[in-house]
Structure 1
């Protein structure tokens, strides 16, 4: 049985909450049972209910995830507009 450090637990929880990684992918990557990862995430969310520092960190991770998603969407839209502009520029010539 492998010993998991607190640092690794926090890293896995952060990857799930902030980066949107699935519990299944994290469990497979770190060689940990799916239920164990799920328990870590649940325990962290419960800690956020009573610990203001953890609650603040949790909100920052969620906001970071949201902003990353918005940035990715904006990049897709920008790429589309560039292609459309190039297409219409060819039509004019």
Structure 2
């Protein structure tokens, strides 16, 4: 059995789901039934193509920055929720 050939539009769709929407490679490969190696190669090739143009490079840098900020935001939200619960707990202890 030979290698399966995927349409360029399909590859771009999965790469954009990963880069723009932050979907993990593992979740995409599981959902679409392909190997992680294939998707990683498509991502690498897309980044390579984009890096050949100034606009593409800036877009990739912005996407990386957005993903980093989204991760930081999630972490800060978790910390904030923890602190709210701790404050409520200690406020209740003081009242009792």
Task: State the TM-score bracket (shorter-chain normalisation).
Answer: 0.7 to 0.9
Could you tell me how far apart the structure 2 residues matched to 1:64 and 1:12 are?
18
- After TM superposition, the score normalised by the length of structure 2 is 0.77
- Shift in Å, 1:5: 4.5
Partner of 2:24: 21
- Shift in Å, 1:2: 6.8
Partner of 1:4: 7
Cα RMSD, aligned residues only: 2.1
Count of residues in correspondence between the two structures: 91
Partner of 1:57: 59
Of residues 55, 67, 70, the one that matches 1:68 is 70
Which runs of structure 2 are paired with 1:39-58 in the superposition (5 Å)? 39-58=41-60
- After TM superposition, the score normalised by the length of structure 1 is 0.79
